[in-house]
């Protein structure tokens, strides 16, 4: 299969299948006694088939650096960064789809759920395959619109609708700021191609700085950078658990990738972009951890945890951009992948318990910490999966989170800068602080006396347990053999450094 054909299929398969799944689901609902079966399996089939063109692109991307396909004035480009993003997004989306078979079974508009999930997946892959600012914004908006609708999936509940509106308003403001930044860049350079923009921004002065600032704030809303993070706890806690896993695992990371892509084009406008990312890294780690300590709802706690975890990624990327350290960028991408896996696992495990303890009994209410007392007695596999996810996010060896955090910290120490060394210590202390809310939750799971809610809970379906088991094994395997991911993290790191002019 030619590289251009594979790239076309990678983008087209999920994008075209999305409306087909919606229409098929509506037909099933009307003529098959309100049963929706084919739509679910077609969604999973399309995601499975999409892996084939992606894996076909592995060799040309890793050997040649990028696959380019000019279409008129638009250039599709799949480089190491885009390939890494596609692997992460497609992997998590596949597991979330399997989990959702039982979780959203029988829900109103179930076919809409799968159609939007597929469209969101396609838009995130497309975001990694663009080389100009305008189409980067278009794919970003497509991802945002589908995520709004998925957050509001339970629109009959006021809390879900309120969270979706809050998310929509704040993200729309961020998107407008990005568009203004793009307009300033076009005014200065008369082009939006990222490769062409970079040398033209060298003498851009205050206008170039303003464009970069607008891009950071605009994409920072979606990335949940403090203080633009206030939409995140409501959206992540009110969305269906599979969508919470996607939002925390890959959607906010796609906002981060979009920001890095845009800043790569603006690299010559200022030398301060890396230092600014390091500042936000410290802010995110501290605020995210302190806010998570106060939560009693499990999904809100996990949402605030994501704010802190983004801080570690920003730290790695800030070191790479400021000092050209490839290990910093590789560590940032390593943690991005691990966060997608571990936070996805945490939300899916919490979702499985939420389904067993509340949703399956017709109660649409949040999962709180007291509900989990003694859950391991009745749900040992799910409790084990949630424990692996939480301890991995807390950075305990030999789990995946420890290895990626360690690589980030070592990259900061490599620079031999005293301020950066203090920041490494600060980040390490924040990792210890996070155990202040992860460890008590794990302790609750293994208490001797189960709560009354656990005793009345329903069994968890096997299909919901399959993704939990696979992601738990992945978290352990990557922690023990971190080089398992080097084939995708280092090409992504080199692509990022090249975009900022490092060779």
Residue 32: predicted pLDDT: 62
Residue 423: predicted pLDDT: 95
SS3 76: strand
Residue 1: predicted pLDDT: 64
Helical (H) or strand (E) element with 77: strand 74-79
Please state the rounded mean pLDDT for residues 52-71.
Answer: 87
CB neighbours of 127 closer than 8 A, spacing ≥ 6? 85, 136, 139, 140, 143, 254, 257, 258
Tokens of 447: 């208490």
Nearest one of 89, 168, 73 to 126, comparing CA atoms: 89
Rounded CA gap, 139 and 122, in Å?
A: 9
pLDDT class for 253, splitting at 50, 70, 90?
very high
**CB 355 within 8 Å of CB 311:** no
Tokens of 131: 């080389």
Nearest one of 337, 257, 269, 410 to 90, comparing CA atoms: 337
For residue 328, pLDDT beyond 90: yes
For residue 281, pLDDT beyond 70: yes
pLDDT class for 35, splitting at 50, 70, 90?
low
Nearest one of 154, 130, 152 to 141, comparing CA atoms: 130
Strand partners, 297: 368
pLDDT per residue as tens digits for the range 283-294: 999 999 999 998
**CB 14 within 8 Å of CB 54:** no
pLDDT per residue as tens digits for the range 78-127: 999 999 999 999 999 999 999 999 888 877 788 899 999 999 999 999 99
Q: What is the DSSP letter of 361?
A: G
Query: Taking the model in full, what pTM does it have?
Result: 0.95
Residue 26: predicted pLDDT: 81
**CB 130 within 8 Å of CB 136:** yes
pLDDT per residue as tens digits for the range 160-202: 888 888 899 999 999 999 999 999 999 999 889 888 898 888 8
For residue 136, pLDDT beyond 80: yes
Residue 31: predicted pLDDT: 67
The CA–CA distances, whole Å, from 204 to 181, 210, 213 equal 13, 10, 13
Q: What angle do CA 341, 314, 186 make, to 5 degrees?
A: 110
**CB 342 within 8 Å of CB 475:** yes
For residue 33, pLDDT beyond 80: no
Residue 449: predicted pLDDT: 86
274: exposed, middle or buried (Cβ count in 10 Å: 0-12, 13-18, 19+): buried
How many other C-beta atoms lie within 10 A of the C-beta of residue 166? 18
Residue with more model confidence, 365 or 300: 300
Residue 416: predicted pLDDT: 86
206: exposed, middle or buried (Cβ count in 10 Å: 0-12, 13-18, 19+): exposed
pLDDT per residue as tens digits for the range 413-455: 989 889 999 999 999 999 999 999 999 999 999 988 888 888 8
Tokens of 503: 């060779």
CA atoms within 13 A on the CB side of 339: 30
């Amino acid at each position: 299969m030619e590289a251009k054909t594979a790239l076309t299929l990678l983008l087209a398969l999920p994008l075209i299948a999305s409306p087909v799944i919606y229409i098929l689901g509506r037909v099933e609902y009307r003529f098959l006694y309100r049963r929706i079966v084919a739509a679910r399996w077609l969604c999973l089939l399309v995601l499975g088939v999409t892996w084939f063109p992606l894996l076909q692109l592995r060799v040309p991307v890793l050997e040649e650096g990028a696959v380019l396909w000019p279409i008129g004035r638009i250039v599709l480009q799949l480089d190491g960064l885009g390939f890494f993003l596609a692997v992460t997004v497609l992997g998590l989306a596949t597991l979330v789809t399997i989990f959702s078979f039982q979780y959203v079974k029988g829900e109103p508009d179930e076919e809409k759920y799968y159609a939007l999930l597929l469209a969101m997946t396609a838009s995130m892959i497309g975001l990694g395959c663009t080389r100009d600012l305008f189409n980067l914004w278009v794919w970003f908006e497509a991802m945002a619109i589908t995520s709004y609708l998925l957050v509001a999936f339970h629109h009959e509940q006021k809390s879900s609708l309120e969270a979706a509106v809050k998310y929509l308003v704040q993200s729309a403001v961020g998107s407008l700021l990005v568009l203004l930044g793009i307009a300033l860049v076009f005014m200065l350079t008369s082009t939006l191609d990222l490769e062409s923009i970079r040398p033209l921004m060298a003498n851009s002065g205050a206008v170039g700085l303003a464009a970069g600032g607008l891009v950071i704030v605009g994409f920072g809303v979606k990335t949940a950078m403090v203080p633009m993070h206030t939409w995140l706890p409501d959206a992540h806690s009110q969305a269906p658990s599979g969508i919470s896993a996607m939002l925390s695992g890959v959607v906010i990371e796609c906002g981060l990738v979009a920001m890095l892509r845009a800043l790569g084009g603006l690299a010559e406008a200022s030398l301060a972009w890396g230092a600014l990312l390091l500042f936000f890294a410290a802010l995110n780690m501290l605020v995210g951890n302190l806010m998570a300590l106060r939560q009693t709802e499990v999904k809100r706690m996990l949402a605030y945890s994501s704010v802190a975890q983004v801080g570690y990624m920003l730290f790695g990327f800030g070191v790479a951009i400021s000092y050209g350290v490839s290990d910093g960028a590789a560590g940032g991408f390593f943690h991005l992948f691990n966060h997608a896996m571990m936070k996805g696992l945490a939300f899916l495990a919490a979702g499985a318990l939420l389904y067993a303890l509340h949703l399956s009994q017709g109660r649409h209410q949040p999962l709180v910490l007291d509900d989990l007392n003694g859950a391991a007695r009745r749900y040992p596999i799910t409790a084990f999966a949630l424990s692996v996810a939480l301890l991995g996010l807390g950075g305990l060896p030999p789990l995946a989170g420890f290895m990626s955090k360690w690589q980030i910290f070592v990259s900061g120490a490599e620079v031999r800068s005293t301020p950066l060394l203090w920041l490494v210590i600060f980040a390490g202390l924040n990792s210890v602080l996070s155990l202040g809310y992860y460890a008590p939750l794990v302790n609750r799971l293994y208490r001797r006396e189960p709560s009354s809610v656990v005793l009345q809970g329903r069994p968890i379906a096997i299909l919901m347990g399959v993704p939990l088991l696979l992601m738990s094994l992945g978290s352990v395997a990557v922690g023990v053999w971190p080089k398992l991911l080097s084939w995708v993290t280092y090409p992504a790191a080199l692509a990022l450094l090249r975009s900022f002019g490092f060779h």
